[in-house]
Amino acid sequence: MKMNWKQVTFVAAACAVCASVFVSSANAADWGQYEVDDRRSGFTYMTDESRAMQVDSFQNPGMIWVEQGAELWTEVNGKAGKSCASCHEDATAAMKGVAARYPVYDEGAKTLQSVETQINHCLENNMQAEPYKWESTEMLSMTSFINNQSLGMPVDVKIDGPAAEWYEKGKAFYYERRGQLDMACKHCHEDNAGGIIRANTLTQGQVNGFPTYRLKWQKVGSIHRRFRGCNKQVRSAPFGYGSDEYLALELYVKWRGRGLPVETPAVRN
Amino acid sequence: MPSLKSFIPAFAAATLLASVATADDHLVKYEVVDYGIAKSLTGKAGDPAAGEKAFVNRKQGNCLACHQVTKLSAHPFHGEIGPSLDGVAERYEEPQLRLQVVNAKAINPDTIMPAFYRTDGFHRVLKKFKDKTVLTAQQVEDIVAYLKTFK
């Protein structure tokens, strides 16, 4: 039986226990929206159970953060006495497409803005509130909520104009060997995607599903947390959350996944 | 404070090598001929039993992360990034096996396989591992001796 993942998504929503559907589709060549040319979402490398869990919003454990984010959206915070909703109103309209476009170069701030840094920009400048810490529950909830508004939209980041410099920096990072084990991102995610390293199947290392719920973490995590983990496992000193290095890398890696759907919150091993 | 005994040889070695200062100066010197290193790094043959331990240890060789070895099937999770090492001693001589472990990049500059006895030319190494080799010269020799049993 051959099915594509657009159909499977409907089946899963209708019937969460149709495990046999996923077993037979594992060998199907057609991954639907999860594959664009030679670019494949991490989704296509996961187990059938993880995929079933992701596409069913009642089962997806990452939805807890999305719901927490929805609550924060309307909560008044800071000296200006405002909530996000005071200005942006309905998030389903105002935040739709953000995850597909970001990170973007911000002419005003003269820097590359990720969803996290944009949220903190609004907290500090528009609400006179404290910024969220990068990997805090508040930030993960808000980014999960905002990115979830773009669910299914194709990734489409801008890499020309002032973003070009960031893109080039991120690309150089991707191909540079680092750490005592002396590997670049490309050695695992480009040369060996689909290969098995220890007990893990390597994917293309795409970022279209972040924040992702990682079964190993038992919670959602940011793109930069993942970058830090991938740096540390080759025994390389990681960069800071929100560092220019990781923002540039985020833009480049996001571009590598152009056309893939936003999957937030994705479920990954 | 270091004792005089340990201080003097270290100082003497430093002056001797000062003219060819590279980051790998504290390592055993070796010569690469025909994609191989003929001489043992320790001057002695390694111990294959110790080699097996360093080979499977995840903090040392961790060779099974990428390679399959049938006789080690009792250990779970053999990776598939590199080729099976079954019969590798029939395909290569000892000098080639030694260079493959010491610095695989001398054979294939683009390889994913780490250089297990090298410290120079690395970028942003975690402090804990700075200027340290993944394996000691002794462990390299033990692993080479172990690989020679793969017939």
Which domain CATH number covers A74? 1.10.760.10
A47 and A98 fall within a common domain: no
Domains belonging to chain B, first-starting first, are: 7-19+26-147 (1.10.760.10)
The parent domain of residue A134 ranges over 63-148
Q: Which of A148, A183, A207 is the last residue of a domain?
A: A148
What whole-number distance in Å separates Cα of residue A234 and Cα of residue A70?
37
What whole-number distance in Å separates Cα of residue A102 and Cα of residue A104?
5
What whole-number distance in Å separates Cα of residue A198 and Cα of residue A230?
15
A87 and A177 fall within a common domain: no
Residue A9 has pLDDT above 50, yes or no: no
Of the partner residues A176, A180, A196, the one whose CB lies closest to the CB of residue B79: A196
Residue range B57-75: mean pLDDT, rounded? 97
Place of tokens 């992702």: A212
Tokens representing residue A93 in the block: 């309209």
A142 and A176 fall within a common domain: no
Of all residues in chain B, what percent carry a pLDDT higher than 90?
83
pLDDT band at B24 (very low <50, low <70, confident <90, very high): confident
A199 contacts on B by Cβ (under 8 Å) = 76-77
Q: Is the Cβ–Cβ distance between A103 and A252 less than 8 Å?
A: no
Contact A182 B129 (CB under 8 A): no
Place of tokens 């998030």: A91
Q: What is the pLDDT of residue A30?
A: 86
A142 and A158 fall within a common domain: no
Of the partner residues B76, B81, B122, the one whose CB lies closest to the CB of residue A180: B122
Active site residue A230: yes
Residue A205 lies in a domain: yes
What whole-number distance in Å separates Cα of residue B88 and Cα of residue B61?
17
Number of domains in chain A: 2
Q: What is the pLDDT of residue A219?
A: 97
A181 contacts on B by Cβ (under 8 Å) = 114, 134
Residue B38 has pLDDT above 50, yes or no: yes
Q: A14 in contact with B at a CB cutoff of 8 Å?
A: no
Residue A183 lies in a domain: yes
Tokens representing residue A174 in the block: 């991707």
ipTM strictly over 0.90?
no
pLDDT band at A3 (very low <50, low <70, confident <90, very high): very low
Please spell the DSSP secondary structure of B91-134, one letter per residue: HS-HHHHHHHHH-GGGT-TT--SPPSS--TT--SB-GGGTT--S
Q: Within 13 A of A51's CA, how many CA atoms are on the CB side?
A: 25
